[in-house]
Amino acid sequence: MDNVSDSVTKLQATFRITVNGESVAIATVGQAYDFITRLSTVEWVECRALHEEARTALEAAAGNAMLSRKATDALRALFARTKLL
């Protein structure tokens, strides 16, 4: 897929996280990709490897829905490490 942010491929779970006092639901590959790429790389530096893995998995899942489980697992690991879950 050319633009990962436009992907409506469903993740295997919906993540409900609170950022700056605002509740955010992340249910699709596009929403997740927007969320993790919207912040600067400096904000993810603490867990750069997990961020890169999640970004790569989301890009793959945007073009192949069969890979949504791997993308969901990568996001779960990233969000857990950053204490967003």
Question: Alpha-carbon distance 5 to 11, whole Å?
Answer: 13
State pTM to two decimals.
Answer: 0.89
Question: Alpha-carbon distance 39 to 66, whole Å?
Answer: 27
The DSSP element (H or E) to which 3 belongs, if any, is none
Band (1; pLDDT cuts 50, 70, 90):
low
- What 3-state class would DSSP assign to 1? coil
Q: How many CB atoms lie within 10 A of CB 82?
A: 15
By percentage, how much of the chain surpasses pLDDT 90?
A: 72
pLDDT above 80 (res 2): no
